[in-house]
Amino acid sequence: MPDKSDLPQGTLDLLILQVVAAGPIHGYAIAQRLQLISRDVVQVPQGSLYPALHRLENRGLLAADWKASETGRESKFYRLTPKGRKQLKAEAASWLRLTEAIELILKPSGASR
């Protein structure tokens, strides 16, 4: 099982925003979705997930509503605010640019060595 510290700093916020962008979703489902999509590479423990969620809510990137879920309990559903959507776009773009660059460096195409 990959260590959680493998996740570079700041990326958790980005991943959460990406998952929430799909529609209102509660904390547990976010963790499940991340694990599922990443094929078990990204496992976010409760102790990291919730502070991150609350931080994003505090910064106004996420908003939350309480809804009765299928289990009958009250669950907190997060959704993206317009500000969060903008942030997601900007961060995703810059992340992609960065990873492309890193890939270029790490996979030298033949002659340069």
Partner 1 sequence: MSWWRRLLRQQALERALDTELRDHLEREIEAGVRAGASEADVRRQMRLTSGGLDQIKESCRDVRRPPALADVAGDVRFAWRMLGRNKWATAGAIVTLALAMGVANTTFISTYADLWRDFPFERPDRIAIMRTIDAHGREAGLSFADYQDWRREARVFDGPSAAFGIGTISLGRDGTAPEQLDGLYVSADTFSVLRVKPMLGRDFAAADDRPGAEAVVIISSNIWKSRYAASRDVLGRKVSVNGATPATIVGVMPDGIRFIDFTDVWLPLAQMPGLAAQRRDIRPLMMIGRLPDGAGLDRVRADLSPIAANLALAHPDTNKDIRPLVNTLLEAYNGLMALTSSAIYIPLLAAVFVLLIAAANLANLLLARAAYRSREIAIRLAIGATHWRIVRGLLIESLLLAAVAWALAVGGSWLALRLSTSQAAPQLPYWHLKMDVRLLLVLAAIALVTTALFGLAPAVYASRRATADGLKEGGRLSTPPKVRRWTYALLVGQFAVTLALLNGAGLTARRLFNFYALDRNVQTSDAVTTVIRLPAQTYATRDQRIAFHQQLQARLLSSPGVVASTVATAAPFTPAGRRQLTSVDGRPTADPPPDVMTMVVEPAYFRTVLRGLVLGDSFSELHGTPGHEAAIVNQRFAEVYLGAGSPIGRHLELKLPTAQRTYLREADSPAPPVSVAIIGVAPDVRQVRDAVPTVYLPFRAEAPPAVALIVRGSGGSISGAAAVRNAVNAVDPDLALGAVRTLDELRDRSRSGPAGMASQFATIGGLALVFSGLGLYSAMAYAVRRRTQEIAVRMALGAKATQVRWLFLKTGARVIGAGVALGVPAALIVGRMLQNTFVGTEARDAVTLLATVALLTIVALAASIVPAGRATRIEPTAALRIE
Q: Which residues bind partner 1 (CB under 8 A)?
A: 4, 26-28, 31, 43, 45-48, 50-51, 54-55, 58, 66, 69, 71, 73-76
One-letter amino acid for residue 15 of the chain: L
Answer whether 75's CB lies under 8 Å from 69's CB. yes
Would you put residue 87 in left (φ > 0), alpha (ψ -120 to 50) or beta? Answer: alpha
The distance of closest approach from Cβ of residue 42 to partner 1 in the complex, given in angstroms and rounded to an integer, is 13
Of residues 54 and 97, the one with the C-beta less far from partner 1: 54
The distance of closest approach from Cβ of residue 35 to partner 1 in the complex, given in angstroms and rounded to an integer, is 11
The distance of closest approach from Cβ of residue 47 to partner 1 in the complex, given in angstroms and rounded to an integer, is 3
Answer whether 43's CB lies under 8 Å from 2's CB. yes
In the chain, what are the helix, strand and coil shares in percent, each to the nearest 5? 55, 15, 30
Of residues 70 and 103, the one with the C-beta less far from partner 1: 70
Of residues 50 and 95, the one with the C-beta less far from partner 1: 50
